[in-house]
């Protein structure tokens, strides 16, 4: 079952959750794509607890990846 695409928000940087919703994919898929280098300059925020921080993705990197995947013209 696919998830319907949502508009890519116009803010910078985006959360991994926002990118997942815009691409119609799962959050763990976005994390895997970050590790594979699909989102240049993606970074983690500082952690306030014991675990790692949240991923942030530059808007331009998300837009470029979406175009490369054929989601937008």
- Residue 49 burial class via C-beta count within 10 angstroms: exposed 0-12, middle 13-18, buried 19 and up: exposed
Residue 6 within any structural domain of the chain: no
pTM for the structure as a whole: 0.85
Structural domain containing residue 42: 14-68
Report how many domains make up the chain.
Answer: 1
SS3 15: strand
The predicted structure's pLDDT at residue 65: 94
The predicted structure's pLDDT at residue 20: 94
For residue range 43-69, list pLDDT tens digits in order.
999 888 888 889 999 999 999 999 999
Residue 19 within any structural domain of the chain: yes
Residue 21 within any structural domain of the chain: yes
Residue 4 within any structural domain of the chain: no
For residue range 28-46, list pLDDT tens digits in order.
999 999 999 999 999 999 8
């Amino acid at each position: 079952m696919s998830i319907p695409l949502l508009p890519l928000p116009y803010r910078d940087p985006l959360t991994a959750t926002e990118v997942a919703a815009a691409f119609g994919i799962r959050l763990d898929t976005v994390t895997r794509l970050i590790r594979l280098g699909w989102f240049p300059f993606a970074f983690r925020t500082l952690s306030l607890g014991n675990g790692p921080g949240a991923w942030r993705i530059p808007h331009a990197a998300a837009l470029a990846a979406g175009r490369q995947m054929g989601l937008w013209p």
